[in-house]
Structure 1
Amino acid sequence: MHRVAVLAVPPVTAFDLTIPELVFGAALVGGSPGYEVRVGTPEPGLVAATGSLKVSVPHGLDVVDGAHTVIVTGTGARGDADPRVLAALRGAAAAGSRIASICTGAFVLAQAGLLDGRKATTYWPFSAELAERFPRVEVVGDVLFVDDGDVLSSAGLMAGMDLCLHLVRSDHGAAVANAVARLALAVPVRFGGQAQAAAGPPPESRAFSLAETRAWALGRLDEPLPLGELAAHAHTSVRTLTRRFRAETGLTPLRWLLEQRVDRARELLEATDLPVERVAERSGLGSADSLRHHLLRRVGLTPRAYRDAYRKQRAAGRGREG
C-alpha cells in the first residue's frame, strides 16, 4: 500500500490538513484502500491552528520513514521552520520519497532546499514573498499546482485538493481519481496550469449553478452538445451560460467539454483495451486523428504511446510498493 505522510507545521491551516486524508482515504483500487495516511508533527498532541482551533496530531516526524509520499500542508509560520521538520524532509527526499506542499507549505520545502532550481507555486498572496526570499526557486504565480517530477506544490485551499487528485490520478489512473472527486463533490479535473481565482469580481448569486447541467453533459460526452442545447438544459441564454461557465469552472463551455472528453479518452485508454477509434467515438472526440491531436496537445503522447506509458508506470509502481 502506498504510504502518505502528512506533516503538520504549527500553526497549521486546519482545512489544508484535512485534504490528504479526505482524498487519499477515499481512493479505492480494486475495492481495497490504495493509500495509508498518517499525520505527524514535531511535538505530537494538540497542535495550534491558524484560527481558534487546535487539532490533535498523534504521531511524530517518524511518519516520514518509509513513506512513498510526504506532504507539508499550509502553515501560518512562513518564517524559520522547525529544524527537525527540515531534516525529516531532506531525509525523505534523499530516500526517494515524492515530496509535495499545499499552500504555504511551499515555504517549508524552500527552507529545506528542496525547491532550489525547481518550479513551484503557493497561494497567490504569498507568491511574491516566496520569490523574494528564495531566489533560487522559480516561482510560478497564479496556477493551481506545479508538478516538477518528484517535488510538487499547490496553491491554497481547494487547489490542495486538485493536487491530491492529480497524485491519485498519477498513481492509479483517471477512473480512481474521478471516483474520489465524485465522492468529494469536487471538479474531477482541474489542471495545474489553470489560474487561481485571485482578485476577480465578486461571484454572482449561488442560487444559480450549472452543476446539474455539467453532470448532465458528462453523461452525454459521446453526443454532439452545442451551446444552445446546454443553455436549454440550464434554462438560460447562451450568453448567460458562457458567463456562468467561466465563473464556475474558469473555462468556456466548449473548452470545458473538450477537456472532459480528453479526460474520458484517457480513462478509456487506461482502463480498457478498446481500439483507438472506439475510444475517440465513446469520448466524443469523433475520430482517431482528433483524439491524437488533442492528446498530443495535452500530454505530448499519441493514444497508443499514452496507453503503453500508463501501463508501464502502473507496473513499475506496483513493483515499488511490493
Structure 2
Amino acid sequence: MTQESSHERGRAHRVVVIVDENSNPFELGCATEVFGLRRPEIGRELYDFHLCSPEPRTLMRDGFFTLTGVAELALADTADTLIVPNRPDVEVPRRPAVLDAVRRAHGRGARLVGFCSGAFTLAEAGVLDRRRATAHWQWADSFRARFPRVRFESDVLFVDDGDILTAAGSAAALDLGLHVVRRDHGAEVANSVSRRLVFAAHRDGGQRQFVERPVPELPDESLAPVLAWAQERLDSPLTVATLATRASVSAATLHRRFQAQLGTTPLAWLTSERVALACRLIERGESRFELVARRSGLGTAANLRTLIRRETGLTPSAYQRRFGPGPN
C-alpha cells in the first residue's frame, strides 16, 4: 500500500505500531518520535500514527512499565504501514493473533517494518521467506538457524526490501525511520525531521552495524571539520585525495578513519551527500537537471539519473513530480 494511495483516500498515511508483551521501549519511542509527533514547521500532517495491542494492559520489557489506553489489535487491519513487535526474548514464539495480523497486513499490501528483533516476528509470520532482512548482529546465528529461507544480512544498519523493511538494533531504528520519511516525503522533509531529532539525516542502510569508536588520541582525529568543509563545496571537483589533503593525512589514513567513525568509505559518503543535495534542489523547484547535476557535484544529467534512481528508486523526473513544489 503506497503513500499515494492513502493520499488518494483523503488522509495521511496511517502508521500503526503493534505493542506486545515485553516489547522494547526504545524502539517504540523511536517510532513515536519519527512518525507520531506533529511537525508544525513542515505545515502538514505527515502520518496518522497509532499504537495497538492484543491486550488492554501490556507489560513492557523487564517490567519497566505497563502500557494501557491504546487501541485494540484490530486497528492493525487499517494500517498503511505496520510496525511489528520487537523484544529481547527472541526464542519465545509470538502470539498467533499478532502473527495473523501481520499476515493480513502483508496480504492486503501494507508496508511492514521490523525494528531490531522485529525481524523475528516477520519471519515467524512467514512473510520474509526468500526476502532480505536484518536484525541486531548478536542474533545473526540464531536467526539463520531458525529461518534458513530468509536472506539475512548481519552487517548493515537496515534493509529496504520494498514493502518489508528491517533495522538492526537500537539507533538503527532511527536510521530506518528517517529513511522511510525520506522515501515517503523527500529529502527536505526528512532533513527537517532529523534536525528536530538532532540526528544524522541520512546514514545509508549498507553501513556497518558495529563501528569502532576508539578513545581519540591527540591531535583530534574527528572527521567533523573535513565533513563540514566538504558539505559546503559539494559542487567543486572534490576527490578522496582532496579530502585527505584537507585533513592533512594520507588517503589510506582517511579511508581508515571513515571506516572507523562512519562505517563507510570517503567516496561513498561524498556520493551520498551529493545525491541528497541534488534531491533537495529538485524539491525546491529546480527542473534543469543538468544544472542540478553541476550544483550537486554529480557532473552530468546521466550521472544524476543513475544515482538518484539507485538511491530513491525514482528517475529525477518522477522524483520531481512526487516531491517538487506544488500540491503534495
Per the normalisation by structure 1, the TM-score is 0.83
The answer to whether residue 195 in structure 2 is matched with residue 149 in structure 1 is no
CA distance in 2, matches of 1:155, 1:91: 24
Aligned equivalent of 1:42, options 54, 57, 61? 54
Deviation at 1:112, TM superposition (A): 1.1
Aligned amino acid, residue 114 of structure 2 = S
CA distance in 1, matches of 2:318, 2:108: 28
Equivalent residue letter for 1:123 = H
**1:308 counterpart residue number:** 318
Secondary structure of 1:166 counterpart? helix
Query: Retained in 1: the 8 A contact 2:25–2:60?
Result: no
Q: Do the aligned partners of 1:71 and 1:101 also contact (CA within 8 Å) in 2? A: yes
Aligned to 2:9: none
Per-residue Cα deviation, 1:21-42 (whole angstroms, up to 9, x for no partner): 1112357495122012212222
Distance change (3 Å), C-alpha of 1:134 and 1:309: same
1:17 equivalent among 1, 10, 28: 28
Once the two structures are superposed, the pairs formed by residues 1-322 of structure 1 within 5 Å of their partners are 1-25=12-36, 28=39, 30-50=42-62, 53-59=64-70, 60-78=72-90, 79-197=92-210, 201=212, 203-205=214-216, 209-211=222-224, 213-225=226-238, 237=249, 242-292=255-305, 294-295=307-308, 298=311, 305-308=315-318, 311=321
Equivalent residue of 1:32, what SS? coil
What displacement does 1:5 show?
Answer: 0.6
Instruction: Kindly indicate whether the alpha-carbon contact (under 8 Å) linking 1:7 and 1:70 is maintained by their aligned counterparts in 2.
Output: yes
Once residues 210 and 278 of structure 1 are traced to their aligned partners in structure 2, the CA distance between those partners, rounded to angstroms, is 29
Shift in Å at residue 214 of structure 1?
Answer: 2.8
Report the AA paired with residue 87 of structure 2: T
Cα RMSD (Å) of the superposition? 3.1
Give how far 1:237 is off. 4.2
Once the two structures are superposed, what CA deviation does each residue of 1:11-61 show, in whole Å capped at 9, x if it has no partner? 1222111111111235749512201221222223352214x6225243131
Contact 2:156 2:207 in 1 (8 A): yes
- One-letter code aligned to 1:61: L
| TM-fit CA distance, 1:2 | 1.2
C-alpha distance in 2 between matches for 1:208 and 1:54:
41
User: Tell me, what secondary structure is at the counterpart of 2:48?
Assistant: strand
Closer, same or farther in 2 for the Cα pair 1:307/1:114, shift >3 Å? Answer: same
Say how many residue pairs are matched: 309
Secondary structure of 1:181's counterpart equals: helix
Aligned-pair identity (%) = 41
Q: How far apart, CA to CA, are the structure 2 residues paired with 1:313 and 1:226?
A: 30
CA distance in 1, matches of 2:297, 2:323: 26
SS in structure 1 at match of 2:79? coil
Is contact 1:270-1:307 (8 Å) kept? no
Distance in 2, Cα, partners of 1:57 & 1:264: 43
SS at match of 1:6: strand
In structure 2, the CA distance between the partners of 1:134 and 1:227, relative to structure 1 (3 Å rule), is: closer
Counterpart of 1:178 in structure 2: which amino acid?
Answer: N
Distance in 2 (CA, whole Å) between partners of 1:312 and 1:121 is 29
- SS in structure 2 at match of 1:24: helix
Q: For residues 224 and 132 of structure 1, do their structure 2 counterparts lie closer, same or farther at Cα, with a shift above 3 Å needed?
A: same
SS in 1 for 2:78: coil
Alpha-carbon shift at residue 6 of structure 1 (Å): 0.9
- Return the alpha-carbon distance in structure 2 between the equivalents of residues 25 and 233 of structure 1: 41
Amino acid aligned to 1:150: D
Query: 2:207, 2:264 within 8 Å by CA — same for their partners in 1?
Result: no
Structure 2 stretches of 5 or more lacking a match?
1-11
Identify if the C-alpha distance between structure 1 residues 290 and 113 changes in structure 2 by more than 3 Å, giving closer, same or farther. Answer: closer
CA contact (8 A) 1:87 1:112 kept: yes
